[in-house]
């Protein structure tokens, strides 16, 4: 017996209807999803609530609200393939009924009990890091995402995993990094921004800037400006880096191009984000010195940070355009000469 995931109606007489709408899943499948989702929330409720609260309180992770929406969009991109997967009887059911499972045909899938093993392992990792004094808090949300993927493998098999691995893995970008690691990553980015901004500020006549770690001392026209410019943690660029890295993965996945181009696009998100943050720190310094300190603080500072996102996308789009036009595919082959001979009758 073969069933289509998009309908409870079995195939008859070799005819098959192509499903193109999520409503084709049927009420029974939505009930199953609600039950599994409810159980999942009950098990990982504290972890899910903690992550959402971090999104609300910490502006560096406010992009987390968008990550699940992107994952749903990725799944929707494979809607046709998912809806038209046909589930065949799993090996255990075949053993019970005394029939040997046959090989899977194109478009068919079956439950995989390796997913059940992975689910148990993910749950054990979660419990260990929850109750053990030596546990690591970051592994709890990661194991939760692993459990989500294991459920898909268990119920839908490898064919369903093929269309859902990226949406599930993409959820990692919504998990906040531990504070100590997050801070340790911001320090070198702050130091780099301070040093380059100092070099650029010294290009102004009558301005002498000196970087002391993440603090830039400025003497302008013989006057020592107080307070000194401090490249704070908020100006480290990590917020832009994490958000842009997630969006870079999304854009590399959605744009149909060669694998090497996708890798370059993904790798370019890091230097682009760092460059944009250096621009932000340098422009802030010029505004602070040459215009007025109040325009380098508060809402003006935040608006300047938001303006870096369009700049980052412009650089990313230019790189994508450049690679798309780097090689021009030749259309067709060289036309052959055709010789027509007239035959006298």
Q: What Å distances lie between residue 217 and 204, 210, 293, 297, CA to CA?
A: 15, 5, 14, 17
278 with 317, same domain: the answer is: yes
Residues 223 and 59: their CA atoms lie apart, in Å, by: 36
Whether 54 is in a domain gets the answer yes
Q: How many domains does the chain have?
A: 2
- Residue 150 CB neighbour total at 10 angstroms: 24
Q: Are residues 32 and 167 in the same domain?
A: yes
Residue given tokens 């084709």 in the structure block: 24
Q: What is the C-alpha to C-alpha distance for residues 132 and 129, in angstroms, rounded to an integer?
A: 6
Q: How many CB atoms lie within 10 A of CB 22?
A: 14
pTM, two decimal places: 0.75
Strands (E), the chain: 2-4, 86-88, 108-109, 207-212, 215-220, 223-224, 229-230
Q: What is the pLDDT along the chain (345 residues), one digit of tens a residue?
A: 445 555 444 443 445 567 778 888 888 889 999 999 999 999 999 999 999 999 999 877 888 898 999 999 999 988 988 888 887 766 565 555 555 555 666 677 888 889 999 999 999 999 998 887 666 888 999 999 999 999 999 998 999 999 999 999 999 999 998 888 888 888 888 888 889 989 998 888 888 888 888 888 888 887 887 887 878 766 666 777 887 788 788 877 777 778 888 888 888 888 888 898 888 888 988 888 888 878 777 787 778 877 888 888 888 888 888 888 876 655 444 444 555 555 555
288 and 228 fall within a common domain: yes
Question: Same domain, yes or no, for 192 and 147?
Answer: no
What end-to-end distance do the CA atoms of the chain give, in Å? 69
Q: Are residues 12 and 161 in the same domain?
A: yes
Strands 108-109 and 86-88: parallel
Calculate Rg over the CA atoms of the chain: 28
- CB-based contacts of 302, cutoff 8 Å, min separation 6: none
- The H helix count followed by the E strand count for the chain is 11, 7
Domain range holding 292? 180-324
């Amino acid at each position: 017996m073969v069933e289509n995931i998009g309908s409870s109606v079995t195939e008859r007489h070799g005819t098959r209807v192509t499903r193109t709408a999520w409503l084709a899943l049927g009420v029974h499948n939505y009930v199953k999803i609600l039950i599994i989702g409810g159980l999942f929330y009950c098990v990982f409720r504290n972890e899910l609530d903690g992550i959402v609260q971090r999104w609300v309180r910490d502006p560096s992770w406010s992009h987390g609200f968008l990550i699940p929406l992107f994952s749903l969009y990725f799944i929707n991109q494979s809607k046709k393939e998912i809806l038209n997967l046909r589930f065949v009887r799993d090996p255990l059911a075949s053993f019970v009924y005394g029939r040997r499972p046959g090989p899977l045909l194109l478009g068919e899938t079956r439950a995989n009990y390796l997913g059940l093993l992975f689910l148990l392992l993910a749950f054990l990792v979660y419990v260990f890091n929850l109750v053990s004094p030596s546990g690591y808090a970051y592994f709890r949300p990661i194991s939760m995402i692993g459990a989500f993927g294991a459920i898909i493998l268990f119920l839908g098999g490898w064919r369903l995993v093929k269309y859902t691995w990226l949406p599930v893995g993409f959820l990692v970008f919504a998990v906040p990094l531990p504070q100590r690691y997050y801070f340790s990553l911001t320090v070198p980015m702050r130091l780099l921004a301070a040093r380059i901004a100092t070099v650029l500020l010294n290009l102004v006549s009558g301005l002498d800037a000196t970087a002391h770690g993440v603090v830039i001392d400025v003497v302008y026209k013989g006057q020592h400006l107080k307070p000194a410019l401090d490249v704070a943690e908020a100006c480290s660029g990590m917020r832009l880096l994490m958000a842009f890295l997630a969006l870079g993965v999304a854009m590399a996945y959605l744009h149909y191009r060669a694998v090497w181009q996708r890798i370059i696009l993904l790798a370019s998100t890091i230097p682009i984000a760092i460059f944009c943050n250096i621009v932000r720190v340098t422009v802030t310094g010029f505004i602070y010195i040459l215009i007025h300190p109040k325009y380098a603080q508060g809402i003006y500072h935040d608006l300047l940070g938001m303006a870096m996102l369009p700049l980052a996308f412009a650089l990313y789009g230019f790189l994508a355009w450049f690679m798309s036009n780097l090689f021009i595919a030749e259309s067709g082959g060289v036309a052959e000469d055709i010789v027509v001979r007239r035959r006298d009758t």
